Structure 1
């Protein structure tokens, strides 16, 4: 899949994602130390519903399901959803997957208001063009006290491919308007997870 340079818009056409995931290509895999740091910031897994937006090949969603969350993994690429269903059949019913374009207001609305305790977005937030509407959708999906966890590299830490990351200023914008917010570095000089509470 061709990737944009830092000066190009961050929107990648659906066809690009379809071929990316159909070829079995993913992104940087999560590991147990990352998941452990993340889950320390989230509501308890027991009885918690979690929505993983932009699930890709499903490794992150599967890891969270193994930690005890009831996970719905969504992606707008059918090939990604098919891969999750194929690779993680052993985790059903704790992990289910469906195709969902998270920019489609009506489709997201069908998930229901106050339906999730946690919404996660790992390495996908920078690809959404209308961040204000994105935040509104997430806020409606979260139950009171729920958490939105955005895992992303920071642009200041990258020498190339800065379009896949957030600047410090963008992190500040992301955190504004929430009841509380915190962040944790998941690895020194690497990924940061911003956790926002409703």
Structure 2
């Protein structure tokens, strides 16, 4: 989700995954198609994950879903993340890679998450693994998630501690 110009999608296809690369903008999809035309195993899809019909996505599910540098731009986060979690096959993972406030310059903190937001993101999943990737939070969520997305949205964020 949020494939942008397709670098991660092309890499995943190169290591053997069959990839559905999804982005909101047709310009990103067009650029990704052009830059990675020789890569086999990628299906490029222009789709608004918050508003469009998810019918183009595979009904049989996915082993891996990634949201790289896109989570902070999603408005209905709980519904989307848990909805994506429902599309995971047994043993699958949802990976969210996102900037965190502590490692983000003040002028760019609007696209970064604080610890309270990360706590909301990982609530209800069977297992959560958190790694650091050059100052980004790299969360590996495995499920199925046991929370109703509406309940997640209503939980208050916990303020980050210094």
1:163 to 110, 119, 124: 110
TM-score, normalised relative to structure 2 = 0.82
Could you list the runs of 5+ residues in structure 2 that have no partner in the other structure? Answer: 144-162
* 1:128 maps onto 2:74 in alignment: yes
* 1:84 maps onto 2:32 in alignment: yes
1:63 to 11, 30, 33: 11
Quick one: distance in 2 between partners of 1:144 and 1:104?
26
Could you list the runs of 5+ residues in structure 1 that have no partner in the other structure? Answer: 1-52
3-state DSSP class of the match of 1:81?
helix
* 1:178 maps onto 2:111 in alignment: no
The equivalent of 2:50 in structure 1 is 103
List per-residue Cα deviations over 1:30-66 (Å, max 9, x = no partner). Answer: xxxxxxxxxxxxxxxxxxxxxxx01111112112222
Over the aligned positions, Cα root-mean-square deviation in angstroms equals: 1.4
CA separation of 1:177/1:156 partners in 2, compared to 1, >3 Å: closer, same or farther? same
TM-score, normalised relative to structure 1 = 0.67
Contact 1:113 1:142 in 2 (8 A): no
List per-residue Cα deviations over 1:65-104 (Å, max 9, x = no partner). Answer: 2222111101110011111111111112x12211111002
Aligned residues: 142
> Which runs of 4 or more aligned residues in structure 1 lie more than 2 Å from their structure 2 counterparts after TM superposition?
none
